[in-house]
Amino acid sequence: MRTALCPGTYDPVTVGHLDIITRCAKKFENVVVAVVNDAFRKQPLFSIEERVFFLEESTREIPNISVTVLDGLVVELARAVGADALVKGLRAVTDFEYEFQMAQLNKKLDPELETVYLMASPSYSFLSSSGVKEIARFGGCVDDLVPEIVAKRLTEIYQSVEA
């Protein structure tokens, strides 16, 4: 397998996401990180431009990673970028239930596209974007949970809400 597609909302990208993406980059020749533009499950805090920027800045030292926007079906983007596999990170059984359903639907749409799961590193198994946003919202420190540029932006957002 040469090219992996790592789709997600990345709202915001966390060090757990970066761990999965970095590990993926060691196993595949090319990794395309796809930022979901139309997140129908919840309204993102960050714009699509900010989320793409955060990922580009956080992965710029890794030459085989590129970042793009996902505006439609993940299987269509996978075909367009020549992806051999979708790579998803799993933290817990609850992640698996949702991801298993999605993998089955994607397999129906494109039987050749494989879904590969990477287990979260133990130090990140608790980490979620929603948890990070909640901590930041109430003034907690997220410096070791997200890249520096994300932590700074979260501080800006939530300090302006308090003002």
Burial classification of residue 51, based on how many CB atoms lie within 10 Å of its CB (0-12 exposed, 13-18 middle, 19 or more buried): buried
Q: Are strands 65-70 and 30-36 parallel, antiparallel or unpaired?
A: parallel
Tell me if 131 is assigned to some domain.
Answer: no
Q: What would the pLDDT profile of 83-117 be if each residue is shown by its tens digit?
A: 999 999 999 888 898 899 999 999 999 999 999 99
Question: Domain range for residue 31?
Answer: 3-124
Buried b (16+ CB within 10 A) or exposed e, 58-78: bbeeeeebebbebeeebbebb
Q: What would the pLDDT profile of 123-138 be if each residue is shown by its tens digit?
A: 999 999 999 999 999 9
Residue 92: what are its φ and ψ, rounded to 5°? -150, 175
CATH number, domain of 58, equals 3.40.50.620
Tell me if 19 is assigned to some domain.
Answer: yes
**pLDDT on residue 92:** 85
**pLDDT on residue 161:** 63
Q: What would the pLDDT profile of 18-50 be if each residue is shown by its tens digit?
A: 999 999 999 999 999 999 998 666 789 999 999
Are 147 and 117 in contact by the 8 Å Cβ rule? The answer is: no
Q: Which among 115, 110, 162 is positioned nearest to 6, based on CA atoms?
A: 115
Domain count, the chain: 1
Are 97 and 63 in contact by the 8 Å Cβ rule? The answer is: no
